[in-house]
Amino acid sequence: MYNKEEITNWFMSLQDNICNQLEKADGGKFIEDRWKREGGGGGRTRIIQGDVIEKGGVAFSAVHGKTPEKILKALQLSETDFYATGVSIVMHPLSPMVPIIHMNVRYFEMENGTSWFGGGIDLTPHYIDLSDAQYFHKELKKICDKHHPEYYTKFKAWADDYFYVRHRQETRGVGGIFFDRLSPSKEMSLEQLFHFVQDVGNAFSPIYTYLIHKNKNLPFEEREKEWQLVRRGRYVEFNLVWDKGTKFGLDTQGRTESILMSLPPQANWIYSHQPIEGSKEHTTQKYLRKGINWLDII
Amino acid sequence: MYNKEEITNWFMSLQDNICNQLEKADGGKFIEDRWKREGGGGGRTRIIQGDVIEKGGVAFSAVHGKTPEKILKALQLSETDFYATGVSIVMHPLSPMVPIIHMNVRYFEMENGTSWFGGGIDLTPHYIDLSDAQYFHKELKKICDKHHPEYYTKFKAWADDYFYVRHRQETRGVGGIFFDRLSPSKEMSLEQLFHFVQDVGNAFSPIYTYLIHKNKNLPFEEREKEWQLVRRGRYVEFNLVWDKGTKFGLDTQGRTESILMSLPPQANWIYSHQPIEGSKEHTTQKYLRKGINWLDII
């Protein structure tokens, strides 16, 4: 049986491993920013401004204290202490040919015995490469299938719904998997859930390393760069308007810099920007919708 | 007695006048984008990419139809039709020495007879110039004082609270005035309220023209430009995370491009950016707080 200390330690080692792997893939180095939370706990936010990654963060945190009102209300619980730990990643590459990636794994526990895992991983290419999207989803399906026959289908659909820029009626990217409130049950013990979450966490480095190496040397020009900056604007819009994690963090006086490390180094907004019919930008935009079966896209 | 048609017509003429004045001050030209709303009404969004203004919008809209659930709930009303009209402005200048400005005047009316005016005007300098901030607030006080002895004090404090980037614990800029739900009462008739709102609307062009001419030729370098892009990032954060108007528009499937015309052409995020103690950026940051008496600041 695992306890929160072991889960926390594993998340810390995951952060270490991922930073090591990303430094190898990128060539640059992370800098670390350690912080403490007034109400209890703290974290270590690691930031890279590298050769491939223009701005990226791998953040670990473990915080505890009085459960925020918002959660108590949502769960219809009275005052109780909480413990939350997790790893969050967002990478904004310099090249528009390399996709943005996001990963999060988290564990939440309350004094009253309630506990759950949550997390997800999703890919936001500036230009959708069908073989990359297929590869990404096949890798995620492999992980899911190891643990539960329905996980991929369920969590893929959940990601489509979650990573949705509603006011643009488009998905953030090609999706991935998203899951929340995975509590121990007869079907899946805490241990089994943790093994699933570990596999998700461990998948990050090989997947993104592959995507970096495959795409980092592709040529691009001013046009691709401009499109990247517009797509990054949509990324900002999603994170600040719709992302529940960001919203929750900012609402509950979380650590602003760690929450907003997900924002790109630069984003542009052009009034009523519309890619030309038939252009590769237009093709990408057409694929930004829910319910696409990426496994069979090619 | 005014009716909604006259108020609407006045708002349209305000848009025309402001666009004319801004074209004179800037040298550039607005382009117009007309749109219709599915549920009823529409608008004309005007965008400038000029010599002084890098990206700016002056939007007029007049929409009607079934009152959105959110408003009904907030007012504890059952189904009724609404009519809403207004003018919204945001200007993002090219030079970091020229302040960002925002203005909004709006009128809302429901079938059941409820009606109100709302609006405001606030200034967001990248670098706070005390004499500009004082001038701005003195002009606003003059307008307010013409109509009600308590308006300036009340609406200045309201702006401090409204234009507040809570997760940064800083104000968006030097504030201004903000007011909402100004319904006719014994003290102020609809006509009197409308005259106040007209004076607010009419103040925009002379104020911003003055600030443009005073600051547009000031020299700046890479450092000032970088700081501008960081401050614009905060502007994006406020608008997407805290601005109730933006939130309401996006939630109720408003016209995305008109709502988000408030976003800057470019914004940057630097992890944990902190201006050097004693620098002019640091001085500006120190002034980004509520409750400053700008009238007596010099």
The CATH number of whichever domain residue A82 belongs to comes to 3.40.1500.10
CA distance A282 to B283: 45
HEC string of B27-96 equals CCCEEEEEEECCCCEEEEEEEECCCCEEEEEEEEEEEEEECCHHHHHHHCCCCCEEEEEEEEEEEEECCC
Residues of A serving a catalytic function are 102
Range ranked top by mean pLDDT from A69-78, B69-78, B80-89: B80-89
Q: So what's the pLDDT on residue A153?
A: 98
A241/B240 CB distance under 8 A: yes
Of A229, A257, A268, the CB nearest to B272: A257
Q: So what's the pLDDT on residue A278?
A: 96
For residue A5, what are the CA distances in angstroms to A9, A58, A84, A86, A89?
Answer: 6, 20, 11, 12, 21
Q: So what's the pLDDT on residue B1?
A: 63
Q: So what's the pLDDT on residue A113?
A: 85
CA distance B163 to B124: 10
- Is the pLDDT reported for residue B243 higher than 80? yes
Q: So what's the pLDDT on residue B76?
A: 80
User: Which domain range does residue B76 map to?
Assistant: 4-296
Q: Kindly indicate the confidence band of residue A269, based on its pLDDT and cuts at 50, 70 and 90.
A: very high
Write the single-letter amino acid at A171.
T
Q: Kindly indicate the confidence band of residue A74, based on its pLDDT and cuts at 50, 70 and 90.
A: confident
CB-hemisphere CA count at 13 Å for A259?
20
Structural domains counted in chain A: 1
Q: So what's the pLDDT on residue A1?
A: 63
When scoring A31, A55, A90, A269 by the number of chain B Cβ atoms within 10 A, the one with the most, hence best to mutate, is A269
Q: So what's the pLDDT on residue B20?
A: 98
Q: Looking up tokens 């694929």, which residue turns up?
A: A287
Cβ A35 vs Cβ A8: under 8 Å: no
When scoring B247, B263, B269, B274 by the number of chain A Cβ atoms within 10 A, the one with the most, hence best to mutate, is B269
CA distance B257 to chain A (A): 6
Average pLDDT over residues B231-258: 93
- Is the pLDDT reported for residue B46 higher than 80? yes
Count residue pairs from A and B with Cβ separation < 8 A.
Answer: 76
pLDDT tens track for B101-137: 999 999 999 988 889 999 999 999 999 999 999 999 9
Q: So what's the pLDDT on residue B77?
A: 79
H-assigned helices in chain B? 4-26, 69-75, 130-147, 151-162, 190-215, 222-237, 244-251, 256-259, 280-286
pLDDT tens track for B183-193: 999 999 999 99
Helix (H, G, I), strand (E, B) or coil at A93: strand
Q: Kindly indicate the confidence band of residue A183, based on its pLDDT and cuts at 50, 70 and 90.
A: very high
- Is the pLDDT reported for residue A253 higher than 90? no
Q: Kindly indicate the confidence band of residue B289, based on its pLDDT and cuts at 50, 70 and 90.
A: very high
pLDDT tens track for B87-104: 999 999 999 999 999 999
Average pLDDT over residues B176-205: 97
Cβ B30 vs Cβ B5: under 8 Å: no
pLDDT tens track for A6-64: 999 999 999 999 999 999 999 999 999 999 999 899 999 999 999 999 999 999 999 99
Q: Give the helix/strand (H/E) hosting A24.
A: helix A4-26
pLDDT tens track for A164-182: 999 999 999 999 999 999 9
